[in-house]
A and B are shown apart, each in its own frame.
Chain A
Amino acid sequence: KAGVTQTPRYLIKTRGQQVTLSCSPISGHRSVSWYQQTPGQGLQFLFEYFSETQRNKGNFPGRFSGRQFSNSRSEMNVSTLELGDSALYLCASSLWSGGWYEQFFGPGTRLTVL
């Protein structure tokens, strides 16, 4: 069974640019969540998509947006990049297992903003 894939794995951008990250969940998983991990703030929830609809949103500015396609693949976009956006962005593919969410995390995209 293929795992969660994220592309690209590494990105270097400059302030003011925008970036799009992609996540392909495990086949059959309809829920995709995004998290930002930084040394200072730890792991923070960005948003969750389920069946192409945003189901939950974290406390991030509107520069952070996402979407999900009919095949469950998800993208997140960050516009007008700031230095503080440098982070590891993790995508989680989730399946409801009759009482809990079985979540599998992708390898992450490491974004560096210069």
Chain B
Amino acid sequence: ELKVEQNPLFLSMQEGKNYTIYCNYSTTSDRLYWYRQDPGKSLESLFVLLSNGAVKQEGRLMASLDTKARLSTLHITAAVHDLSATYFCAVDLETSGSRLTFGEGTQLTVNP
């Protein structure tokens, strides 16, 4: 059974600081997704990582994928309050259609 684990689950950081969220998964997969969810809202797609060594950046967020270690990271640079949200990583398998298995989510709070 595919398992996806994130850490930390809660992250409180100051504006301007850097931090990394980790996502481990238990079964070989070449597709890793990151989503953002604001309170009471739906999921917004941030990144799709499709191969070992893939790195994608958007603004203050950078995601990377190491398929050999079954690890993805979401790095936050110089955090701002607008980044406060819950971040989920998710994995799908080639044999499972579009089914996503999600991590527990990391609730990020950026304090002024």
Q: Which A residues contact B (CB, under 8 angstroms)? A: 31, 33, 35, 42-45, 48, 50, 55-56, 58, 90, 92, 94, 96, 99-108
Q: In the complex the two chains form, is B42's CB within 8 Å of A48's CB? A: no
B23 at interface by CB-CB < 8 Å: no
Q: Which B residues contact A (CB, under 8 angstroms)? A: 31, 33, 35, 41-45, 48, 50, 88, 90, 92, 96-105
Knowing A56-B96, A100-B48, A101-B92 touch, does A107 contact B42 (C-beta < 8 A)?
A: yes
Q: In the complex the two chains form, is B98's CB within 8 Å of A48's CB? A: yes
Q: How far is the CA of A24 from the CA of B25 in the complex (A)?
A: 31
Q: Indicate which residue in B42, B48, B92 contacts A90 across the interface (CB closer than 8 Å).
A: B42
Q: In the complex the two chains form, is A100's CB within 8 Å of B100's CB? A: no
Main SS of chain A's interface residues?
Answer: strand
Q: In the complex the two chains form, is A45's CB within 8 Å of B41's CB? A: no
Knowing A99-B50, A100-B48, A108-B42 touch, does A43 contact B102 (C-beta < 8 A)?
A: yes
- 28 A-B pairs, CB-CB below 8 angstroms? A31-B98, A33-B98, A35-B100, A35-B102, A42-B102, A42-B103, A42-B105, A43-B88, A43-B90, A43-B100, A45-B99, A45-B101, A50-B97, A56-B97, A56-B99, A58-B99, A92-B100, A96-B98, A99-B50, A100-B50, A101-B31, A101-B92, A102-B45, A103-B33, A103-B45, A103-B98, A103-B100, A105-B44
Q: How far is the CA of A55 from the CA of B98 in the complex (A)?
A: 9
What distance in Å separates the Cβ of B107 from its nearest Cβ neighbour in chain A?
11
For the complex of A and B, 9 pairs with smallest distance between CB atoms: A94-B98, A43-B102, A101-B98, A105-B43, A105-B42, A56-B99, A55-B97, A107-B42, A31-B98
Q: How far is the CA of A50 from the CA of B32 in the complex (A)?
A: 21
Q: In the complex the two chains form, is B31's CB within 8 Å of A100's CB? A: yes
Chain B residue with minimal CB distance to A57? B99
Complex interface: chain B residues within 8 A of A42 (CB): 102-105
What distance in Å separates the Cβ of B39 from its nearest Cβ neighbour in chain A?
11
Q: In the complex the two chains form, is B100's CB within 8 Å of A45's CB? A: yes
Of residues A45, A96, A102, A106, which shows the largest number of chain B Cβ atoms within 10 Å of its Cβ?
A45
